[in-house]
Amino acid sequence: MKKVALSFVTAMLLLTGSYALAQGAPKGDAEAAKNKVSMCIGCHGLVGYRTAFPEVYPVPMISGQSPDYLIKALQAYRAGDRNHPSMRGVAKSLSDQDIADLAAYYGKAK
């Protein structure tokens, strides 16, 4: 039963994401993101960086990551569905346009 419920939730998330895109979700502007990346670069811009808050773990590189993945991840942090205190704080400060811009910027970066 849990697998069915999980599959249903996953399907609904995918459908609502597709619906949002079809309904005019903001188009990302990589150029506009150049003024927004300072909050990301401190952790995600250092190869091999490990953070000590809330525990020691490697910080993932986000350059070249799929823009769709970045959008969904930032939206999940902002909504509280992903639980990392620093990322939740940053994501809550972002508008939908900010998220789209950052995803476009990091999706093109290699």
Q: Where are the domains of the chain?
A: 26-108
pLDDT score at 110: 58
Reported confidence tier of residue 5, pLDDT bands at 50, 70, 90: very low
Nearest to 101 by CA among 40, 28, 36: 28
Confidence (pTM): 0.70
pLDDT above 50: residue 76:
yes
Range 68-102 burial, b when 16+ CB lie within 10 A, else e: eebbbbbbbbbeeeeeeeebbebbeebeebbbbbb
Q: Give me the amino acid identity at 80.
A: G
pLDDT above 70 as % of the chain: 75
d(Cα 87, Cα 9) in Å, to the nearest integer?
23
Asked whether the beta carbons of 38 and 32 are under 8 A apart, the reply is no
Give the chain's mean pLDDT.
80
pLDDT score at 89: 93
pLDDT score at 41: 84
Could you give the maximum distance between any two Cα atoms of the chain, in Å? 47
CATH of domain 26-108: 1.10.760.10
